[in-house]
Amino acid sequence: MAQVTDPEREQARLVSMAELLVDARDADGALETIAQLQAQGARQIHVQRIALRAHQHLKNWSEVLRLARSLEKRNALHPVLALRLKQMACEAMLEERRHDPEALSAFWRTLSADERRAARIAEPAARYFAALGRQEEARRIIEDALKVNWDSRLVLRYPDCARPGQALPQIQQAERWINEHPADADLYYTLGVLCLGERLWGKAQSSFERALKYADREQQSRLRVRTHLALARLFEETERPEEAQRHYRESAMLAA
């Protein structure tokens, strides 16, 4: 590279250097080289791709998000890769703001509708808003995302959006979803949790039992463990110790 001195080849030399540096995980060196290119007016898509990789190595998530959006808009990134990079950046930036409600809200407003509805973005956002006591915002996030992207992570997060003693709207919404997804074990579990919180014992029990009925024994073993534990808690609350013990044993056997 040092032997390339032709001024007409300077940009090509710098692009090659930046690519070699980022391949060697010298992200800072790559970005310094890219800065030289940009000072010369270079704005090639390939340079942006190299910068994207460098910022990803450095965990500069705001730049990763900006560049991924820019390259996606110009059809210069595969849609699946663009989505993955945007999800990674948003997850990290949401986590950075999880203790600051104003910063969390401000960042959430900067996201596009498609980004907000991606399960890997909507689920942690709802979790952080709920933890900060902003259940209504968490509920809107999940309900909006589930309209276009039915995902078990969002379904199972839904009970966190309910305030104690005020879960009736969520129960009604879960029942409407069941009309559309009548064999969804995660949804029955969620409805059971909501009803359990409101001390609707019979409805909670039937929901949990249906969750066990529809849960896949191989792929949803964790859900089955959680459901048996929930039933054990319900039977303890309703003073049926023998049934509670049976479900504790079932959960222990599945967990093992």
Angle (deg, nearest 10), helices 185-197 and 201-214: 160
CA pair distance 18, 15, nearest whole angstrom: 5
- CATH code given to domain 162-256: 1.25.40.10
User: What pLDDT shows up at residue 30?
Assistant: 81
Longest Cα–Cα distance in the chain: 87
User: What pLDDT shows up at residue 36?
Assistant: 76
User: What pLDDT shows up at residue 5?
Assistant: 59
207, 202, 174: which is closest to 189 by C-alpha? 207
SS3 (DSSP) at 200 = coil
Decide: 141 and 129 in contact? Cβ < 8 Å: yes
Q: What's the CA angle centered on 219, arms 116 and 227, to 5 degrees?
A: 85
Structural domain spans, the chain: 86-161, 162-256
User: What pLDDT shows up at residue 7?
Assistant: 58
Cα 116 versus chain centre, distance: 10
Per-10-residue mean pLDDT, the chain, length 256: 62 74 81 75 76 91 96 92 95 97 96 95 97 96 96 97 92 97 98 96 98 93 96 96 96 88
Q: DSSP letters along 43-75, please? A: --HHHHHHHHHHHHHHT-HHHHHHHHHHHHHTT
H helices present in 24-159, as ranges: 27-39, 45-58, 61-73, 79-96, 101-110, 113-117, 119-131, 135-148, 152-157
User: What pLDDT shows up at residue 6?
Assistant: 58
pTM for the full predicted model: 0.85
Burial of 179 (0-12, 13-18, 19+ CB in 10 A): exposed
User: What pLDDT shows up at residue 70?
Assistant: 93
